[in-house]
Homo-oligomer: A and B are copies of this chain.
């Protein structure tokens, strides 16, 4: 783990680069906005920690009414549990004997849920939990349009739910109905159409469960790009947005949700300015993930880098912007989640001064 690139009290211009900077005022406004829109209206909010991988952020979310956190990996959940979070959902399938042992052990110390879409996998989770005297909540994942994990036939939830309900070490908790693809559709109309299809699929599954006499306490899902649509459908009981705390250029390109601010930037230093109008910064794709496009200049959000290699970012300077070696710029990442995962520290600032450094608690928690 790298030493932190700054110390509380440092002025921002002394932070080493490339560094993840969090504008605490904007970050806190983002959290407050989500609270006002969800928990303040009686909905359960379970933000996704795959974005921030931080016990500090998780605790700030819980302090504002979140019921717990989602994680994508058992190791991510372990890291948050170590950081004091006591109600966790692994919103994903977990396979492999070592991981199932870890999952079961974790369920002995926090309230823990997991997703399944396979009868054999459910049986193994039941065994692992029984072996250590744990109880695990299970959500059945149904495919609501992304074509990734999840039962393809929503009526197929019934036999799997019956199997889960019959296992003493498991509790059938409901459905996981998340369409990740829909988060990144470019227009509101596209997203609305996608969530309408998802809702119809959820309805078929809940109707089938109801007809079989099975209760479905939780329908989980929704992300930053669509949660207002899931809320409007009235079927989802637990919302799982992640990116809203920091935001990124991909969400900005979708124009929604417009009320959330870009609170996170990657601070970078110009390392080479070898010809007029062109410069190279010290944040390549080992500092800023490019799976959703190259990062943009925070000072000129319409201007993206023109290239990135592992340790270099290439900038065609917009007119009016001249830089020298050693100058510093803020970048807006294309995709926030994998960008955070490249860093060991958040440098949190307010009014030009570093207020805190937070570890990226679950950085690299891929197991």
- Interfacial residues, chain A to chain B (CB-CB below 8 A): 1-2, 5, 14, 16-18, 50, 72-73, 75, 92-99, 117-118, 120-121, 124, 143, 148-152, 180, 269-275, 280, 282-283, 285-287, 289-291, 308-312, 314, 324-326, 337-338, 341-344, 363-367
Contacts and interface: CB of A to CB of B under 8 A. Distances in A.
A50 B311 contact: yes
Nearest to A143: B274
B2 A1 contact: no
The 4 lowest CB-CB distance pairs between A and B, nearest first, are A149-B272, A93-B271, A16-B98, A72-B311
Instruction: Report copies per complex.
Output: 2
Nearest to A124: B326
B367 A271 contact: no
A96 B338 contact: no
Contacts of A309: 148, 180
A94 B367 contact: no
B342 A364 contact: yes
Contact of A73 (B99, B311, B324): B311
Nearest to A15: B98
9 contacts: A16-B96, A73-B311, A93-B271, A93-B272, A118-B273, A149-B312, A152-B274, A343-B364, A363-B364
A149 B274 contact: yes
A121 B269 CA distance: 12
B341 A286 contact: yes
Given A50-B311, A94-B271, A121 B365 contact: no
B2 A311 contact: no
Given A148-B280, A271-B95, A310-B338, A344 B364 contact: yes
Considering residues A5, A96, A152, A341, which has the most beta carbons from chain B within 10 angstroms of its beta carbon? Answer: A96
Nearest to A360: B364
Given A98-B16, A285-B291, A291-B285, A118 B325 contact: yes
Contacts of A325: 93, 95, 118, 120-121
Contacts of A324: 120
Contacts of A274: 117-118, 143, 149-152
A301 to B, nearest CB: 22
A271 B311 contact: no
B366 A287 contact: yes
A66 B367 CA distance: 35
A52 to B, nearest CB: 13
Nearest to A184: B309
